Amino acid sequence: MSDARWIEVEDDVDSACRHFGNAALLYDQGGLRTPGLSRPAILSGDVADAADESSRFRHRATHDYDNFEPALAVPSIEAARILAAGLKGSILAFRDVIDPA
């Protein structure tokens, strides 16, 4: 029996299987520099580091809420400033590389 509610689930599973298959293929063919299989980094340098810090902060704030120390948020605030200034440019640069005009 086919149920329309499963269409999106099946599409997501197909996408995940394709993703994992391509990851294994990348490894088998020599890594991320294999032509045709790799792509440039979406974020690099300071913007990527800031995104990592933002993720770490979100984890700490969520899981350690009762003991949260605002003074320890300074690195995350600096990361937020970097992301606010550089995220859009990074995404647009990535777009220009993978989908040139």
> What stretches in the chain show pLDDT beneath 50?
none
Q: How many domains does the chain have?
A: 2
CB atoms within 10 A of CB 79: 22
For residue 66 the two structure tokens come to 């009762």
The conformational region for residue 31 under phi > 0 = left, psi -120 to 50 = alpha, else beta, is left
Residues 60 and 24 in one domain: no
pLDDT at residue number 49: 94
Residue type (1 letter), 99: D
Residues 69 and 54 in one domain: yes
Q: 42, 91 in Cβ contact below 8 A?
A: yes
pLDDT at residue number 32: 62
pLDDT at residue number 33: 65
For residue 30 the two structure tokens come to 């020599």
Residues 77 and 101 in one domain: yes
Residues 44 and 34 in one domain: no
Alpha-carbon distance of 38 to 53, in angstroms, equals 25
pLDDT at residue number 31: 67
Residues 53 and 19 in one domain: no
The whole domain housing 26 covers 1-38
For residue 39 the two structure tokens come to 């792509």
Residues 47 and 32 in one domain: no
**pTM of the entire predicted model:** 0.60
Residues in CB range of 46: below 8 A, 6 or more apart? 82, 86
